[in-house]
A and B are shown apart, each in its own frame.
Chain A
């Protein structure tokens, strides 16, 4: 879950990292006031959940409060990679001598956090790693030993930085690692970490991602920062349809019937589980079908929950039929899903036999499930029909 820059910086400030004077503006007047309070030249940056702000023109410099107010109005409407700006961060502009990069992320292969440091900051780190590998160090961090600043020192020294720079950078980087570990982050990045002309260091831009699974654990921090539990912070904001899908899933703790994502097509998908859904979505598209949605059923949800999911999908404009498909199931009961989708059709005023293009869920309790489907004349198939073929049968029924 990505933090806005101003949230990342608030977190950094709480832990004593050096930051410039700054304020969040939600109107041109607030931007003007912030610039006046800070004094001198300021930088205005769009608060948006995406990189590439500079290129999009969503970062501007102002020498006067009036100029800051004008820039606010120019920045707010700019959409960066599909994301709207929430506000504008107004920050003092400082004279910079040198820029560094520091970031901590996970190395999935080594299964450890990795500290990445470079004395060529301010630009894309992956580019630096390719063109100037000797200027980038990667240092792994233990998750069971207490953190020790020697890790930071080694990372800094590895690119040839020494002297007072090394001694001034060590506590900053150590603090960033501690923040990363303490808050279960998946990314903690400062780029650039700038050295001012007076020798001091300052965080110019920062970016933090928190593991979604750790949100409950760090609820106090998220509450303080004003991050609401329903904010998904995905690559694009959720639609009403997707928000309703999440509500269906949250209505009952048993099993999963959610992770609904809307698409433009006419074939509603009631599919599962994690891997099965990915496989089936691909299969429908390969047959030339147009999915209306993605979703995941798994872990044996209640009849009510799966029924509500079916009704939600049927209520989506343009949905003509639904395909109910899963891999051979281990935990989810076939009869429960069969009952749920039939009820969902009936309560939506649709004929199950007409509406359910195909039902392909083999596995536990399949005989009971198939009996129910037969009674309502729903076309179903057992494990002798592949997931791919079942998807093809559904697509063939679409106009």
Chain B
């Protein structure tokens, strides 16, 4: 089991003829993902590594059931592409594009909520269920992805695409595989926060523990802490908090668009306190995560 995607998941890539999207298509296919089509307006009839290209999403969805879409189009066209995916019944939409104004992200999320679709990102590398499906650039080339990710009991959620893989790699080296890893995106407003993905992991019998990567800015960690407490979650959560130096530098943006200390609640000190109050373990170093997870798994057993 896994969350969001598995070996049967079919998805399309919007903006498939772009330079980065071409590479992503190849590596998703090499990993064994079912990329069933691509969209670039005006490029119908082409093929990218055997994947047929269409002008619109509807040209694909009228022929077959499509579970997901990876959106890799320039910021100006992203909202249109996401609306197109939602209105054609696609349920899981990964937005890779960064630098989208948050009002447009809010519009996409509002429409997705109305239609029952889920957005991951923007400014993310996508989702991976190791050994089954890689949806997005997460992990990079298929061979490198296989080195870092392995199948197992730990769910990962990360505000940084690169750190998703760093954590998976650390877990794999320690003999802990992953159920599903989600790069949730680094913007101030994203489609799915930790707390919004937690119910999926909670319902997945294969997932036994959660590792998260987190940063200054926003209320997502406090929201996760609340969720864990209010739902009396069965899953032990281990968090790593980066950007501690930023507590002393209010008003400066580092790392990601949403990573800025504007008030006390944005600081790492405050977030760590909120999470610890909810029983979430906060690792001082990435390499401490596996031992903390193993301890908690042993306690549970």
Instruction: Name the A residues within 8 Å of B189 (CB-CB).
Output: 106, 108, 111
Instruction: Name the A residues within 8 Å of B163 (CB-CB).
Output: 275-276, 279, 327
**A142-B110, A330-B138 known; A184 and B103 CB under 8 Å?**
yes
Query: Which of B101, B256, B287 is close to A386, meaning CB atoms less than 8 Å apart?
Result: B287
Instruction: Name the A residues within 8 Å of B103 (CB-CB).
Output: 113, 143, 181, 184, 211, 214
Residues A278-326 near B (CB distance < 8 A): 278-279, 281-283, 285, 294, 296, 298, 326
Instruction: Name the B residues within 8 Å of A327 (CB-CB).
Output: 160, 162-163, 165-166
Please give the distance in Å from A208's CB to the nearest CB on chain B: 15
Report whether over half of chain A's contact residues are helix, strand or loop; otherwise say mixed.
mixed
Instruction: Name the B residues within 8 Å of A211 (CB-CB).
Output: 101-103
Instruction: Name the B residues within 8 Å of A282 (CB-CB).
Output: 242-245
Asked if B257 contacts A213 (CB within 8 A), the reply is yes
**A108-B218, A109-B223, A274-B255 known; A329 and B110 CB under 8 Å?**
no
Looking across the interface, which residue of chain B has its beta carbon closest to that of A330?
A: B140
Asked if B148 contacts A328 (CB within 8 A), the reply is yes
Instruction: Name the B residues within 8 Å of A30 (CB-CB).
Output: none
Please give the distance in Å from A23's CB to the nearest CB on chain B: 29
CA of A298 to CA of B140, assembled, Å:
13
Asked if B106 contacts A143 (CB within 8 A), the reply is yes
Instruction: Name the B residues within 8 Å of A346 (CB-CB).
Output: none
**A106-B188, A235-B250, A294-B254 known; A383 and B162 CB under 8 Å?**
no
Looking across the interface, which residue of chain A has its beta carbon closest to that of B246?
A: A278
Question: Does B271 reach chain A (CB closer than 8 Å)?
Answer: no
Asked if A111 contacts B223 (CB within 8 A), the reply is no
Instruction: Name the B residues within 8 Å of A373 (CB-CB).
Output: none
CA of A64 to CA of B133, assembled, Å:
74
Query: Which of A144, A214, A278, A326 is close to B110, meaning CB atoms less than 8 Å apart?
Result: A144
CA of A275 to CA of B147, assembled, Å:
20
Asked if A275 contacts B162 (CB within 8 A), the reply is yes
Instruction: Name the B residues within 8 Å of A277 (CB-CB).
Output: 254-255
Instruction: Name the B residues within 8 Å of A142 (CB-CB).
Output: 110
Asked if A275 contacts B215 (CB within 8 A), the reply is yes
CA of A362 to CA of B145, assembled, Å:
12
Question: Does B175 reach chain A (CB closer than 8 Å)?
Answer: no
Please give the distance in Å from B181's CB to the nearest CB on chain A: 12
Number of interface residues of A (CB under 8 A): 52
Asked if B111 contacts A278 (CB within 8 A), the reply is no
Instruction: Name the B residues within 8 Å of A184 (CB-CB).
Output: 101-103
Question: Does B33 reach chain A (CB closer than 8 Å)?
Answer: no
Instruction: Name the B residues within 8 Å of A111 (CB-CB).
Output: 105-106, 109-110, 189
Question: Does B252 reach chain A (CB closer than 8 Å)?
Answer: yes
Question: Does B170 reach chain A (CB closer than 8 Å)?
Answer: yes
Asked if B254 contacts A259 (CB within 8 A), the reply is yes
Question: Does A241 reach chain B (CB closer than 8 Å)?
Answer: no
Instruction: Name the A residues within 8 Å of B166 (CB-CB).
Output: 276, 279, 327-328, 387
Instruction: Name the B residues within 8 Å of A329 (CB-CB).
Output: 140, 162, 165
Residues B156-173 near A (CB distance < 8 A): 158-163, 165-166, 169-170, 173
Asked if A275 contacts B286 (CB within 8 A), the reply is no
Please give the distance in Å from B138's CB to the nearest CB on chain A: 7
Query: Which of B106, B144, B170 is close to A364, meaning CB atoms less than 8 Å apart?
Result: B144
Question: Does B253 reach chain A (CB closer than 8 Å)?
Answer: yes
Instruction: Name the B residues within 8 Å of A109 (CB-CB).
Output: 193, 219-220, 223
Asked if B159 contacts A275 (CB within 8 A), the reply is yes
Asked if B256 contacts A274 (CB within 8 A), the reply is yes
Question: Does B37 reach chain A (CB closer than 8 Å)?
Answer: no
Asked if A330 contacts B139 (CB within 8 A), the reply is yes
CA of A295 to CA of B223, assembled, Å:
30
Which A residues fall within an 8 A CB radius of B? Answer: 106, 108-109, 111-113, 142-144, 181, 184, 186, 211-214, 217, 234-236, 259, 261, 272-279, 281-283, 285, 294, 296, 298, 326-331, 362-364, 383-384, 386-389
Which B residues fall within an 8 A CB radius of A? Answer: 20, 75, 99-103, 105-107, 109-111, 125, 137-141, 144, 147-148, 158-163, 165-166, 169-170, 173, 186, 188-189, 193, 213, 215, 218-220, 223, 240, 242-246, 249-259, 285-287
A-B contact pairs, 30 of them (CB 8 A): A106-B102, A108-B189, A111-B105, A143-B110, A144-B110, A211-B101, A212-B257, A213-B99, A213-B100, A213-B101, A213-B257, A214-B101, A235-B249, A235-B251, A235-B252, A273-B160, A274-B259, A275-B256, A278-B259, A281-B243, A281-B245, A298-B162, A327-B163, A330-B125, A330-B162, A330-B165, A363-B165, A364-B141, A386-B170, A386-B287
Q: A274-B162, A275-B161, A328-B148 are in contact. List 7 more A-B contacts (CB 8 A).
A: A109-B193, A144-B110, A235-B251, A279-B240, A328-B162, A329-B162, A330-B140
